[in-house]
Amino acid sequence: MQGLYQWQLTGHEASAILGHIVSQEHFSRADQTYFAELLPAVMTESAALDDALRPFLDREPAAVSPIERAILWIAAFELRHRSEMPFRVILNEAVELAKVFGGTDGHKYVNGVLDRLAAQERPEEINTRTRGRG
The mean pLDDT of the chain is: 93
Question: How many Å apart are CA 12 and CA 59, to the nearest integer?
Answer: 25
Q: What percent of the chain has pLDDT over 90?
A: 81
Query: Tens of pLDDT along 14-52?
Result: 999 999 998 888 888 888 899 999 999 999 999 999 999
pLDDT single digits (tens) 51-105: 999 999 999 999 999 999 999 999 999 999 999 999 999 999 999 999 999 999 9
Segment 103-112 shows an average pLDDT of 95
Burial profile 91-112: b = 16 or more Cβ within 10 angstroms, e = fewer: beebbebbeebbeeebbebbbe
Describe the chain by its helix, strand, coil percentages, rounded to 5: 80, 0, 20
Domain boundaries, the chain: 2-133
**CATH topology for the 2-133 domain:** N-utilizing Substance Protein B Homolog; Chain A (1.10.940)
